[in-house]
Amino acid sequence: MDINQTEEQQVEAIKKFWSDNGNAIIAGLAIGFAGFIGLNYYNDHKLQQEVNTSEAYQTMIEAAASDATGFEAAGKAFIAENDSSSYTMLTAIALAKEAAVKEDWAQAESYLMTAIEKSVDDGIKAIATVRLARVQLQLEKYEQALTTLAAKLPASFNADAEEVKGDIYFKQGKMELARSAYQAAIDDASDGTSPALQMKLDDLAQVIDLSK
């Protein structure tokens, strides 16, 4: 399973998240440093919390680059300590990716559920949702995966969702439904059909023809 298939979408979604929210954080820092606008203690405290959480997240990511084995423990600790932070969803997605690399699908499922629950950005939430369905496919939780994909997602994720549906239906032996889903994925693809997806549809067409 290509768990990283939406990696570029993740990068773009994260860029969008910081584009939408970064100015507010920067503005808060500027106000805090300027000193000529009175901020009450609560605002100062919240601002300092954001700065501390950001620094903690950056430290964790940098440490993970040199110590992959310790990343899971560090990530779990970060989520526990920063449960209400927007960084929690990013940490959970990163932990899910590491779990998927090790083919620990149950753990990946748990992390992705956390990412969806804590998400404050529609794009990142959609990435986690599609990945969750892929993981549930690996766990043979076919109906649960279809339920996951029933969530309302941004239109740019329709093709990914339909392809996963096709994979699920194929595993269930529902060939006609699989073909319809793959065709829908091709129709919804905004950046061109991937060769792998087209191959799935072509191979499936042969299977259906041979079964007649």
170-191 mean pLDDT: 89
Residue 42 has pLDDT above 70, yes or no: no
DSSP 145-188: HHHHHTS---GGGHHHHHHHHHHHHHHHT-HHHHHHHHHHHHHH
> Average pLDDT in the 159-170 region?
94
Do 79 and 184 belong to one domain? Answer: no
Which of 52-66, 69-83, 101-115, 184-198 has the largest mean confidence?
A: 101-115
Give yes or no: residues 21 and 39 share one domain: yes
108-122 average pLDDT score: 91
Residue 42 phi, psi dihedral angles, 5° rounding: -60, -45
62 and 142 belong to one structural domain: yes
Q: Is the pLDDT of residue 157 over 80?
A: yes
Q: Are residues 129 and 175 both part of a single domain? A: no
Q: What is the mean pLDDT of residues 26-53?
A: 47
Domain that residue 212 falls in: 154-212
- Token digits for 79? 């989520």
Higher pLDDT, 212 or 179: 179
**pLDDT value of residue 71:** 78
- Read off the pLDDT band of 17 (50, 70, 90): low
Contact 156, 124 (CB under 8 A): no
134 and 177 inside one domain: no
51 pLDDT more than 60:
no
